[in-house]
């Protein structure tokens, strides 16, 4: 983004360049520029626009993502021109709305608060789950690996942001690929950990684990794996959060800085309260109930991150977008109306239900045997 350019400006310019490339028959460049119009431009304004007109944000996003599929030799040039013109009008609406409101104090506070809550809650849940697992297994000495992971993520996130400002340029596509791959990796690891924890929900299994496996299972390699999971979960959220706040700051006047920081402070306070409550509640739970509850949390996080991973990779054009006939989205659950995302999430859901059913049958058999 050039100095002084707003996200809407970037989206508009890249979209117009995309249409020019399409008209010249350079379809590869046309698609690349269309991707940039969304990722390097409009996406950076989404949080601000959400607080003003969520329906306009959703419609514009849908049109920008859908345009990519039309930028080929088989499409109707007039239809492509009409679609680009429609998107330009939507961008003009968004720009006028944001300028007229000048991001009111309430809208700015809400946007600032929501960014931190949305990006921070997932990372917080992962770190708390890992911390509590170690406490419950009597390995408080290993907590340093979790702390190493999330502290390292903060340092790496800040270093990446500094590098992006002064040394390298991180494109929107590169950002989405990084976030998508990290989310997919985290989803896989969380599902595996959830599966492992479910197998320990029965008291007999837990006692056997304590007696035979704890030292081996929590070897140095596994502990570094825990540190790695904490790093991945926190880093992707920090990096995205910094970018969104950078964009929000560009739309904020000096007189509104206190409001922006007020939203950040409120978000930190809410996350701290949630974190404290979760830690206190989870540590006091009996071991069987703790493992059972944490299993649901980790499998749910796996479900959410899988959906977000697919969405990020679709936005970066690494995965095709096959929309459902009905358009909808539930951001906090990572649910979006594409066959690819819902297909992966359905697979995770079916596997989780099978896991629960199998665990219930095992518990019933153990009860009869007793």
**DSSP H stretches of helix in 213-286:** 214-217, 220-250, 257-284
Neighbours of 35 (CB within 10 A): 24
What is the DSSP secondary-structure string of 108-148? HHHHHHHHHHHHHHHHHHHHHHHHHHHHHTT-GGGHHHHHH
**Beta partners for 268?**
none
Residue 328 confidence (pLDDT): 83
Residue 64 confidence (pLDDT): 94
- Collapsing DSSP to helix, strand or coil, 285 comes out as coil
Residue 206 confidence (pLDDT): 47
Secondary structure percentages of the chain, helix, strand, coil, to 5: 85, 0, 15
Q: How far apart are CA 296 and CA 197, in angstroms?
A: 10
Residue 1 confidence (pLDDT): 46
For the chain, domain boundaries: 7-101, 105-299
Residue 224 confidence (pLDDT): 76
Give the pLDDT of the chain (370 residues) as one tens digit per residue.
Answer: 444 478 899 999 999 999 999 999 999 999 999 999 998 889 888 877 877 788 999 899 999 999 998 999 999 999 999 999 999 999 999 988 877 655 567 777 887 888 888 778 878 877 887 787 777 767 777 788 888 989 998 888 888 777 765 554 556 667 777 778 877 887 887 787 777 666 655 444 544 544 444 444 456 666 777 788 788 878 878 877 877 777 677 667 677 788 888 988 998 999 888 888 877 777 666 666 666 777 787 788 889 889 988 998 888 888 888 988 888 888 878 899 899 999 999 999 998 888 777 765 555 554 555 4
Residue 61 confidence (pLDDT): 92
DSSP single-letter state for residue 33: H
């Amino acid at each position: 983004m050039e100095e002084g350019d707003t996200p809407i400006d970037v989206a508009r310019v890249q979209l117009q360049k995309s249409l020019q490339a399409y008209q010249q028959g350079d379809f590869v460049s046309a698609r690349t520029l269309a991707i940039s119009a969304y990722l390097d431009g409009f996406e950076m304004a989404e949080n601000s626009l959400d607080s003003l007109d969520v329906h306009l944000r959703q419609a514009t996003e849908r049109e920008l993502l859908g345009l990519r599929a039309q930028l080929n030799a088989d499409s109707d040039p007039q239809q492509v021109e009409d679609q680009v013109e429609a998107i330009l009008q939507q961008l003009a609406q968004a720009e006028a709305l944001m300028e007229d409101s000048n991001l009111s104090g309430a809208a700015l506070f809400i946007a600032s608060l929501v960014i931190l809550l949305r990006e921070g809650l997932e990372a917080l849940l992962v770190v708390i789950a890992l911390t509590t697992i170690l406490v419950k297994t009597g390995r408080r000495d290993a907590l340093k690996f979790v702390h190493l992971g999330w502290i390292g993520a903060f340092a790496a996130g800040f270093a990446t942001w500094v590098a992006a400002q002064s040394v390298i340029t991180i494109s929107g596509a590169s950002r989405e690929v990084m976030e998508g791959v990290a989310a997919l990796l985290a989803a896989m690891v969380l599902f595996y950990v959830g599966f492992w924890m479910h197998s320990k929900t029965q008291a007999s299994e837990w006692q056997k684990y304590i007696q035979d496996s704890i030292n081996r299972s929590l070897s140095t390699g596994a502990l570094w794996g825990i540190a790695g999971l904490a790093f991945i979960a926190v880093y992707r959220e920090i990096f995205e959060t910094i970018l969104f706040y950078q964009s929000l700051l560009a739309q904020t006047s000096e007189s509104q800085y206190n409001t922006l920081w007020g939203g950040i402070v409120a978000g930190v306070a809410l996350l701290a309260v949630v974190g404290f409550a979760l830690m206190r509640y989870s540590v006091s739970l009996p071991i069987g109930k703790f493992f059972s509850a944490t299993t649901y949390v980790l499998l749910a996080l796996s479900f959410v991150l899988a959906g977000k991973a697919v969405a990020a990779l679709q936005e970066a054009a690494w995965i095709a977008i096959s929309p459902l006939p009905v358009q909808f989205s539930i951001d906090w659950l990572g649910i979006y109306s594409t066959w690819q995302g819902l297909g992966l999430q359905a697979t995770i859901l079916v596997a989780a239900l099978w896991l629960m059913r199998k665990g219930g049958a095992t518990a019933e058999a153990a009860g009869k045997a007793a």
